[in-house]
Amino acid sequence: MGALANEIDPREFDSPGYQKDPFPLYKRLRDHHPLFRDRFHNRWLISRYDDVNAAFQDNESFDRALYKVDGPYVFGSSHVFGPNILEYGNSDRHRWLRNIIAGQFVGQGLVSFIPFIEKIAGELLEECMTDGEVELVSRFSNQFPIRVISNILGLPRADEERFVGWYQALIAGLGFGGEHLARGIAARNEMWKYLEPIIEERLKKPGDDLLSKIAIAELDGQRMSMDEVKGFIALLLAAGGDTTDKAIANMWYHMLYTRPDQFEDVKKDPTLWENVFAEMMRYDAVVHVQSRYTTREVEMHGRVIPERSLIILLLGSGNRDERVFANPDTFDIHRTDMHMGRENRSARYKDKLPGHLGFGVGQHFCMGYAMARQEAVIACTRMMEVMKNPRPKFSTHEGISSPNIDSGGFRSPQELWIEFDR
């Protein structure tokens, strides 16, 4: 009877209950099926923190890409972003593409973006914080990161709305196949047509903007091809826009509804938004899932995964692993058993504490990790300056869930009403 209760029917992964609250199923996976063979979806699921972390770091056994760079597959041909660094898997081309541009998103590169982030936050807040109440998702968080990115790229401000539309179609096209993929690819093609003359112009006369820097960047005497530049921009809009907006909404949701007591601490000390960010990335990371393919047979938990199997790394589950975090189902911004500071790709920190898995780990570790944190913290801090005594407009909320199609599968509240004094 007990054993049967722990059996898992893979159709549970497609149920509305799972979309709303995947955590009980994650726990059953971790406790009873740490390596789960899902025959229905033809994939294997890995759910414990240490296993997810190890798979991220094991480039010999797990690859992001199914195809080899020197094989017959034309990269970008069926991917909604076109050729992009995620699709290049663990190849040398991936390393080259990453190295050519990674410096722009950290250190001085990042510092140069801060004035843009502050400016866009200020403008949007002025537009939406007028009435003593605001619906945060549609009026602020959905718009903020995409506007920041298109500004940093130096794209015309008048076209911001078009970018919002394109990136929503790209995101919906990512994981849902069929007509969504077709619509995503159509949006990408439209966006590429729009971008090409701008890129050509920047190649001739580069400015200080990120698009110029990407277009003229050189490594080993080589620049990105036109398609790679366009693919990178598409990835940036989607990876940087759709995730950070949800991070901001999730941070506010948890402060208003999950831990109003700790919200009082943040009001007294706004630097604690940094901790809110880190704990949100653990407790209910925006992105719960990343995929890999095995490049050889892999033995794990006494079973053998065949070569070329699809592997699902459940970051959202690893982040709640009681083998690593005390009281993992409690949202706690004062946690002392997790690294709360800035993340890094090795996931090893001076304080010797484990980090959250929300940005991945290893070769494909999020390139925008520092920028996302900076944007989210600046946005939340500025909002608190404008809103006096922010509080939920409604006493109950249906909570964070994953997706309707337009939200691309990332977890966030659908709407979040806040009341405040002025």
Identity of the residue, 139 or 246, whose beta carbon is nearer to ligand HEM in the bound complex: 246
Number of H helices, E strands in the chain: 17, 10
Subset of residues 76 to 95 that bind ligand HEM, contact rule: CB under 6 A: 85-86
Print burial letters for 254-289: b (CB count within 10 Å at least 16), e (below 16).
bbbbbbeebbeebeeeeebbbbbbbbbbbbbbbbbb
254 binds ligand HEM (CB under 6 A): no
As measured in angstroms, the least distance from the Cβ of 179 to ligand HEM is 25
Exposure of 178 by Cβ count < 10 A (0-12 exposed, 13-18 middle, 19+ buried)? exposed
244 binds ligand HEM (CB under 6 A): yes
- What string marks each residue from 135 to 154 as x (binds ligand HEM by CB under 6 A) or -? --------------------
Whole-angstrom distance, CA of residue 71 vs CA of residue 327 = 47
Residue type, 168: Q
359 binds ligand HEM (CB under 6 A): yes
372 binds ligand HEM (CB under 6 A): yes
Cβ atoms of residues 250 and 415 within 8 Å? no
287 binds ligand HEM (CB under 6 A): yes
248 binds ligand HEM (CB under 6 A): no
Cβ-Cβ contacts under 8 Å for 226 (sequence gap 6 or more): 196, 199
Out of 212, 243, 275, 412, the only residue in the binding site for ligand HEM (CB under 6 A) is 243
Identity of the residue, 30 or 64, whose beta carbon is nearer to ligand HEM in the bound complex: 64
Identity of the residue, 85 or 338, whose beta carbon is nearer to ligand HEM in the bound complex: 85
- What string marks each residue from 178 to 197 as x (binds ligand HEM by CB under 6 A) or -? --------------------
Question: Could you tell me the two tokens for 135?
Answer: 């619906």
251 binds ligand HEM (CB under 6 A): no
Gyration radius (Cα) of the chain, Å: 21
Find the helix or strand (DSSP H, E) in which 215 lies: helix 210-216
The stretch near ligand HEM (CB under 6 A) out of 20-28, 216-224, 282-290, 318-326 is 282-290
367 binds ligand HEM (CB under 6 A): yes
As measured in angstroms, the least distance from the Cβ of 85 to ligand HEM is 4
Out of 235, 256, 272, 418, the only residue in the binding site for ligand HEM (CB under 6 A) is 235
Whole-angstrom distance, CA of residue 304 vs CA of residue 248 = 40
Out of 30, 36, 51, 64, the only residue in the binding site for ligand HEM (CB under 6 A) is 64
Out of 27, 28, 43, 98, the only residue in the binding site for ligand HEM (CB under 6 A) is 98
Exposure of 342 by Cβ count < 10 A (0-12 exposed, 13-18 middle, 19+ buried)? middle
Whole-angstrom distance, CA of residue 20 vs CA of residue 22 = 6
The stretch near ligand HEM (CB under 6 A) out of 23-31, 128-136, 221-229, 355-363 is 355-363
Cβ atoms of residues 245 and 251 within 8 Å? no
Strand locations in 236-288, DSSP E? Answer: none
As measured in angstroms, the least distance from the Cβ of 236 to ligand HEM is 5
364 binds ligand HEM (CB under 6 A): yes
290 binds ligand HEM (CB under 6 A): yes
As measured in angstroms, the least distance from the Cβ of 364 to ligand HEM is 4
Whole-angstrom distance, CA of residue 30 vs CA of residue 288 = 15
45 binds ligand HEM (CB under 6 A): no
Q: Are strands 43-46 and 310-314 parallel, antiparallel or unpaired?
A: parallel
Residue in 89, 64, 58, 91 with CA at minimum distance from that of residue 299: 58
The stretch near ligand HEM (CB under 6 A) out of 16-24, 241-249, 257-265, 399-407 is 241-249
As measured in angstroms, the least distance from the Cβ of 7 to ligand HEM is 30
As measured in angstroms, the least distance from the Cβ of 1 to ligand HEM is 38
Cross-strand pairs, 38: 43
Binding site for ligand HEM (CB under 6 A): 64, 85-86, 98, 235-236, 239-240, 243-244, 247, 286-287, 290, 358-360, 364, 366-368, 371-372
